[in-house]
Structure 1
Amino acid sequence: MKKGYHTQEYRPDEQPLENPIKCLAKNAWLGIGYYFWTDIQFAHYWGEDFKKNYRKYPGYYTIYEAEINTDNFIDTVFDEGGYDFFKENIEKAFLVLKKQRKPITLETVNRFLSDEVYSKLAINGIIYDDKPMNKKDRTRIYSDIPDLYYVKRIQMVCFDLKIIDNFALYLDEQS
């Protein structure tokens, strides 16, 4: 079990959420699923940069905490085999999509992986080291030395709500 932090817009009429909100965006880098940060700092940054502009209550966001069963995850961060598996299957997706004359986009690659790899192998999620940047300059969180990014910005995506336990409000109404 890993602890994860789920950041959402502040919506007092819907608070507290009973479950995380599923990301359905076509440009979600790991595909459709429930996204969590492993570090509370990055959950805050995500709230500040992307969740504070909810039209009804601008300027606020909330963070939820949960325990994630990562037994059937691809760990691209700490497991070399998991990283190699992930990379090889993305490259396989490129080849198949190219052969089928389909566009190679984030959405088509993620759909291929979901349909042809993850579901067939009962993979429930991915642990991924995200890009070391945010909208706002956050370089000091990674290092006092520019370009030495030693703090990983790790995200988890869960494909199945059943592996998320003890989902509860962690911080309410952050501005």
Structure 2
Amino acid sequence: MYHTQEKRKTRLSSPKPCTRDDAWLGNGYYFWYDEIDAIHWGNNSKTKTGSFEIYKALINLDNILDTVFNEEHYQFWMKQIEKAAKAIIKITGKKPTLKEINQYFQERSKWQDITKGILFQDLPNSDDLLVSGLYYRKRIQLAAYDLGIVSEFCFQEEMNCN
């Protein structure tokens, strides 16, 4: 899988954690399943230095919540999100933010103690699709919460932002 970061003076020896409030799956080490998505992310979200780096790593997927390819995991994930959202709505009277959902999971979920990461899919928003408006390709991310599942992390390439 692929990890994207702004170009720095020195190359990374391990992935950098994401701690943004709007991170899809909370604080973690984010990886892309396909290199094309890592490049798209660099061009659109890692632009501060004018160039970005892509790193490659092997990921042990044995102890992750696979919401992309495993239907049982997907159904579990959907129920957890809805349970958390309903609890927050009951308290606040409004739909929760992404930050509130992730905070709820951090503070109250028991399943996060055994899950070392979450494989998640969202819609591709790049123009690399050959059919306009048909999102036939999955854009898959992994949020790793335990660096123990990451191995052979290495620099792959540097690119200038478009």
Q: TM-score, normalised by structure 2?
A: 0.90
RMSD: 1.7
Say whether 1:11 aligns with 2:8: yes
Q: CA deviation at 1:77?
A: 1.0
Q: 1:152 aligns with which of 126, 129, 138?
A: 138
Residues 13-92 of structure 1 mapped to structure 2, 5 A cutoff:
15-52=10-47, 54=48, 58-92=49-83
Q: Secondary structure of the equivalent of 1:100? A: helix
- Summarize deviations over 1:29-87 as a string: whole Å, max 9, x none: 111100000111111111111112x2xxx321001111111111111111111111111
- Summarize deviations over 1:5-52 as a string: whole Å, max 9, x none: 00000012xx22111110000110111100000111111111111112
- Summarize deviations over 1:95-141 as a string: whole Å, max 9, x none: 222333386211111121233226554111111112221xxxx33x2
Say whether 1:117 aligns with 2:92: no
Q: CA deviation at 1:148?
A: 1.8
Identity of aligned residues (%): 38
Asked if the contact 1:5/1:63 (under 8 Å) is kept, the reply is yes
Q: 2:123 aligns with which of 120, 131, 140?
A: 131
Q: How many angstroms apart in 2 are the aligned matches of 1:115 and 1:34?
A: 19
Q: How many angstroms apart in 2 are the aligned matches of 1:34 and 1:102?
A: 32
Q: TM-score, normalised by structure 1?
A: 0.84
| Unmatched 5+ stretches in structure 2 | none
Moved more, 120-129 or 25-34: 120-129
Q: Structure 1 residues 126, 120: closer, same or farther in 2, change over 3 A?
A: closer
Q: Structure 1 residues 111, 8: closer, same or farther in 2, change over 3 A?
A: same
| Unmatched 5+ stretches in structure 1 | none
